Amino acid sequence: MLHTACLRKALKLLIFLFAAVTLTGCYSLKSVPLSSIPQSRNVIMLHADDSLWAVSNYTISEKDLTGLIYQDSLQISKTKVTHLYAAPLSAVQVEGTRITVPVGNIGKADYYTADWWQILGGTAMVAVLLLLLIPPLFLY
């Protein structure tokens, strides 16, 4: 009877810690200047007021950001997207599938990057939990 009570307590602790680790996620948001967007980011999510456009094949000049509105309906990986925030909505010019925004109207640039400390800490926590919880299962 004592064995099952300890097992239940250990299982509850494991579920709680597993939920805490997985809900925090491995990615964190990083804000950068517009000129520092990594080249590996090939899709821009352009936010302006309540509107949102996915932009691919973009170029950023000293004056304007121009690109094509992304037409593919496939899911875009979080590691390939940069979020740009522009204001006002009237500054965004859409002509067919081409979109143009003055660089001066872009207020913020964000992208998600892997948080290696969080990944390392989560991995270490799961390893410690496994080392502590597996031996009691085989003692009886």
pLDDT in tens, 95-119: 988 999 998 888 888 887 777 777 7
| pLDDT-wise least confident of 64-73, 95-104, 115-124, 129-138 | 129-138
Bond prior to 88 in cis (omega within 30° of 0): yes
- What's the rounded Cα separation, in Å, for the pair 72 and 95? 18
- Predicted local confidence at residue 99, as pLDDT: 93
The answer on pLDDT for 43 being more than 80 is yes
In the chain, % of residues over pLDDT 70:
81
- What's the rounded Cα separation, in Å, for the pair 96 and 32? 29
45 DSSP β-pair partners: 54, 83
pTM: 0.64
| pLDDT-wise least confident of 51-55, 74-78, 89-93 | 74-78
